[in-house]
Structure 1
């Protein structure tokens, strides 16, 4: 069985996503439900690599937390047990280095 985001988790993610779309920062998203994790990928343009990924990995639930935000270069920007807390890293002014 694949890992997925539940309704509440998806609502929390889409709330942040909607604010960023309204401000013109983001444009598209994709959801992948894999065997070991669920991934919500965020794009600035549809043809690009994702600028951020919100990942849920239940195998890390008892360790550092099952939620994490990963940057475009693969660096973990924030991880934790509470999704809303982890997503706060996306509300700040994050500058992407090219």
Structure 2
């Protein structure tokens, strides 16, 4: 008998090329998320990791469509920037190369004028 080496099982493409947020990026996103939850604006989130994009979706209520999506697309890092904040209607609110600068659009939504009746 001849000995054959075992044939390795090929890894699915999905396992070899998955885009995800790293720990530092998630820390920045969850920092804003925590402040918005404390303010009563947001209630739930979801994370999707796909072959070409990672998405952090923010929900006002659990059973709704996302209010905002924070996307990371590494293929766009040399063009418009790999990070984007996308609104509920699909409009790109901000896109850029650095996540903190892109997330500022969400911090501005937190600032509101307060009407005081004295």
* Superposed counterparts of 1:1-98, under 5 Å: 1-93=17-109
Report the Cα offset of residue 92 of structure 1.
1.3
CA offsets, 1:44-72, max 9 Å, x none?
00000000000000000000100000000
The 3-state SS of whatever aligns with 1:40 is strand
Task: Return the TM-score normalized by structure 1.
Answer: 0.94
| Count of residues in Structure 1 that have an aligned counterpart in Structure 2 | 94
Shift of 1:85: 0.5
In structure 2, distance between residues paired with 1:90 and 1:46:
19
Q: CA RMSD in A?
A: 0.9
Which blocks of at least 5 consecutive residues in structure 2 are unaligned?
1-16, 111-118
Which ranges of structure 1 fall in alignment gaps of 5 or more residues? none
What SS does the corresponding residue of 1:93 show, helix, strand or coil? helix
TM-score of the two chains, using structure 2 as the length reference: 0.78
Instruction: Tell me which structure has the larger Cα radius of gyration.
Output: 2
Higher relative contact order, chain-length normalized (CA < 8 Å, sep 6+): 1
